[in-house]
């Protein structure tokens, strides 16, 4: 943690940012944490609300086993301790979208304890972020301020939805690290199937704790920026907030511990409320719920059913296909992408296939706003295209053209090559005739090759031009060298 590369230069000397994140991830589940009401965006307001969610008197919460399983699965995926005994507490506060007057959460004894995540920077280097805990809690409803000029409405569809709050250690030192951490955490959750990771819908959002200090000093006073739901906003909020704190401290002021909101339009944070302490919530064990006791055999069954996770998949792609850490990292960043690759690479060159999947296809899909699972052509089609390159039927350059035609819906790779006559010309007789003509017409260039062998490139270019890029480069080079001695 004494890495000086992340220091920020202030007016009076260098500062270090200290960041810890609390990520709220909505549990992938058809029903809420303590009721059978449906979960899902898009339903008409207050259509997914049971009597429990509406906090009618005398209603009793009943824990949803599936949500607990998802939390345990996530804990195992974060290499974290699973607490066989945990319990639920009431976190008391008043808000119109919280009819119970308290949120059922886990305070002293969360279901998941300490773990850690290894995070990659873009350059491939890694750092480790400690996980302090993961607990289950209810989400609140939503106040609607934009339905009526004189009134606020409340929609309780979201009330009682299961959240996993994943609390990190203050182990991050730059906005880039914080974004990379959330990215990695999201990838793991999506692999596990415990959260869909949809940040736009707010199904995964981060509270960012920001403080600054002089290098080597103890922790400074922190501010918490609530509910930031994109990587870009996380970075922008941290950058702004760190600067704000540094300015105050350099002017001799002190930081007030408070909760702030990030305004993406203005690119700044502003105060929301002064930060409450845990004791302000008057936590106490929820008397409606028994302690949560997990059967070790059940936990083991969940552990045995875990899918291959990103780190393991990355290591396997590197060793099985000889891919670089970078290529493997790009492929595993989305499960669909890695699956697509593994289906396309069968019997094909691993590096060539990785290039097509992570560059050409990925760029096209992303521009069209499509996921790999929504690709207009499957892995077998990419395999057909790379097969044509490997068999020297087409050059890599022509393959790009074929790919564009595939995307435009002109047909499959082989079909396009045949109907457009794009096969590489490897017929030495035809190439030789072109080369002889070129040498005869350009004696000066031919002479130059004798003293400057790289001048042969000019002839290669000319042959390519005459054949519309379809000449086999290997064959041209061989013929030219034989004739010009380059």
Q: Contact residues for Mn ion (CB under 5 A)?
A: 165
Nearest to Mn ion of 165, 308 (CB atom): 165
Q: Which tokens hold the place of 100?
A: 């119970």
Nearest to Mn ion of 100, 375 (CB atom): 100
Of the candidates 175, 197, 163, the one whose C-alpha atom is nearest the C-alpha of residue 310 is 197
Provide, rounded to whole angstroms, the least separation between the CB of residue 186 and Mn ion: 17
Provide, rounded to whole angstroms, the least separation between the CB of residue 157 and Mn ion: 19
- What is residue 43's three-state secondary structure? coil
Provide, rounded to whole angstroms, the least separation between the CB of residue 266 and Mn ion: 26
Nearest to Mn ion of 138, 335 (CB atom): 138
**Contact (Cβ atoms closer than 8 angstroms) between residue 21 and residue 181:** yes
What is the C-alpha to C-alpha distance for residues 20 and 169, in angstroms, rounded to an integer?
Answer: 6
Provide, rounded to whole angstroms, the least separation between the CB of residue 23 and Mn ion: 10
Provide, rounded to whole angstroms, the least separation between the CB of residue 207 and Mn ion: 8
What sign does the CA torsion over 65, 68, 74, 76 have?
negative
Q: Which residue is nearest to Mn ion (CB)?
A: 165
Nearest to Mn ion of 135, 405 (CB atom): 135
Provide, rounded to whole angstroms, the least separation between the CB of residue 191 and Mn ion: 23
Nearest to Mn ion of 47, 257 (CB atom): 257
Counting Cα atoms < 13 Å in the Cβ hemisphere of 339 gives 13
Phi then psi for residue 172, to 5 deg, are: -100, 150
Provide, rounded to whole angstroms, the least separation between the CB of residue 209 and Mn ion: 13
Beta bridge partners of 118: 128
DSSP string, 325-386: HHHHHHHHTSHHHHHHHHHH-TTS-HHHHHHIIIIIIHHHHHHTT--GGG-SS-HHHHHHHH
Nearest to Mn ion of 158, 314 (CB atom): 158
Question: How open is the CA angle 143-145-150, to the nearest 5 degrees?
Answer: 125
H-run or E-run covering 25:
strand 13-26
Nearest to Mn ion of 207, 339 (CB atom): 207
Nearest to Mn ion of 134, 362 (CB atom): 134
What is the C-alpha to C-alpha distance for residues 447 and 58, in angstroms, rounded to an integer?
Answer: 98
What is the C-alpha to C-alpha distance for residues 117 and 15, in angstroms, rounded to an integer?
Answer: 26
User: What distances in angstroms separate CA 455 from CA 42, 310, 458, 477, one per listed residue?
Assistant: 65, 48, 6, 12
Provide, rounded to whole angstroms, the least separation between the CB of residue 91 and Mn ion: 8
């Amino acid at each position: 943690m004494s890495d000086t590369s992340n220091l920020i230069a202030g007016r009076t000397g260098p500062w270090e940012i200290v960041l810890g994140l609390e990520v709220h991830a909505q549990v992938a589940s058809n029903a809420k944490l303590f009721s059978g009401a449906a979960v899902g965006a898009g339903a008409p307001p207050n259509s997914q609300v049971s009597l429990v969610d509406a906090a009618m008197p005398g209603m009793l919460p009943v824990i949803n086993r599936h949500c607990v399983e998802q939390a345990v699965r996530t804990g195992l995926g974060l290499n974290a301790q699973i607490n066989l005994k945990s319990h639920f507490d009431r976190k008391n506060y008043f808000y119109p979208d919280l009819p119970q007057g308290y949120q059922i959460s886990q305070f002293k004894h969360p279901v998941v304890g300490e773990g850690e995540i290894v995070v990659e920077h873009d350059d491939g280097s890694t750092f480790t972020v400690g996980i302090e805990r993961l607990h289950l809690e209810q989400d609140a409803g939503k106040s609607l301020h934009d339905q009526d000029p004189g009134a606020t409405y409340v929609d309780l569809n979201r009330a009682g939805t299961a959240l996993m709050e994943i609390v990190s250690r203050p182990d991050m030192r730059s906005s880039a690290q914080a974004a990379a951490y959330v990215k990695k955490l999201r990838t793991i959750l999506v692999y596990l199937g415990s959260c869909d990771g949809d940040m736009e819908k707010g199904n995964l959002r981060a509270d960012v704790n920001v403080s600054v200090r002089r290098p080597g000093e103890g922790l400074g006073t922190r501010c918490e920026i609530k509910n930031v739901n994109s990587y870009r906003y996380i970075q922008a909020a941290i950058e702004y907030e760190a600067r704000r704190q540094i300015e105050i401290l350099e002017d001799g002021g002190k930081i007030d511990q408070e909760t702030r909101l990030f305004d993406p339009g203005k690119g700044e944070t502003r105060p929301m409320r002064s930060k409450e302490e845990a004791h302000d919530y008057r936590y106490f064990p929820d008397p409606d719920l028994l302690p949560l006791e997990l059967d070790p055999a059940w936990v083991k069954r969940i552990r045995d059913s875990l899918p291959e996770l990103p780190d393991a998949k990355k290591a396997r792609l590197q060793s099985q296909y000889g891919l670089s850490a970078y290529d493997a990292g790009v492929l595993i960043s989305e499960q669909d992408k890695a699956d697509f690759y593994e289906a396309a690479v069968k019997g094909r060159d691993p590096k060539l296939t990785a290039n097509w999947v992570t560059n050409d296809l990925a760029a096209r899909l992303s521009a069209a706003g499509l996921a790999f699972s929504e690709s207009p052509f499957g892995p077998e089609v990419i395999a057909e295209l790379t097969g044509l390159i490997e068999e020297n039927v087409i050059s890599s350059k022509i393959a790009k053209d074929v790919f564009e035609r595939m995307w435009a819906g002109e047909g499959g790779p082989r079909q396009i090559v045949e109907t457009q006559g794009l096969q590489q010309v490897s017929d030495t007789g035809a190439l030789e005739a072109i080369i002889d003509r070129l040498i005869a017409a350009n004696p000066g260039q031919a002479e130059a090759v004798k003293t400057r062998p790289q001048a042969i490139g000019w002839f290669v270019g000319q042959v390519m031009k005459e054949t519309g890029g379809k000449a086999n480069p290997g064959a041209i080079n061989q013929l030219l060298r034989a004739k010009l001695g380059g």
